[in-house]
Amino acid sequence: MKPHSQSPSLLFVCLGNICRSPLAEGAFRSEAERLGVEVMLDSAGIGGWHIGEPPDVRAQAVALKHGVEIGGLRGRQIAPRDFLEFDRIFAMDHENIRDLKALRPGNATARLSLLMDCVPGKEGRVIPDPYYGGPREFEQTWQAVSEAARCWFTSRG
């Protein structure tokens, strides 16, 4: 178990780690900086197709439109140790949750939940994959992850 004095560590997980989870990481980092709060943030994908790649250019564009640079992030795949190293793992949809539960080691300590569970009144909602969408879908993704970030830092739940 980690000492309580350590800053909370949050891992955002989606399928590819190039659209939703890097946007979530960017939105949470931006909110943490705005508030002057220390948190450990990272993101990962269920699949390994985009290991080492920067976020999708459309994700980078929507983040930048809102003043957040995510171009330095690189894709990686979830690993069993993540369930021991992070306090919280936030998934984007129910498929992510199902896949994460299948990968979760028996001694996992991380609390697993949907990202939108952070938002009062939006518990259980998913953040749909914008990969086959356009700018509108990426904007909706940004709005969802930003709302989750604002709500999480308000309640630290």
- Using CB under 6 A as the binding criterion, the count of chain residues that bind ligand 4NP stands at 10
The CB-of-140 to ligand 4NP minimum distance in angstroms stands at 12
Angstrom distances, CA of residue 136 to CA of 33, 125, 132, 141: 27, 19, 11, 9
- Annotated active-site residue 14? The verdict is yes
Q: Ramachandran region of residue 121, left (φ > 0), alpha (ψ -120 to 50) or beta?
A: left
Say if CB 38 and CB 32 are below 8 A apart. Answer: yes
From residue 20 to residue 39, the character string flagging contacts with ligand 4NP as x (rule: CB under 6 A) and all else as - is: x-------------------
Interacting positions 85-144 with ligand 4NP (CB under 6 A): 129, 131
* Catalytic residue ranges: 14, 20, 129
In the complex, the residues that contact ligand 4NP under the rule CB under 6 A are 14-20, 49, 129, 131
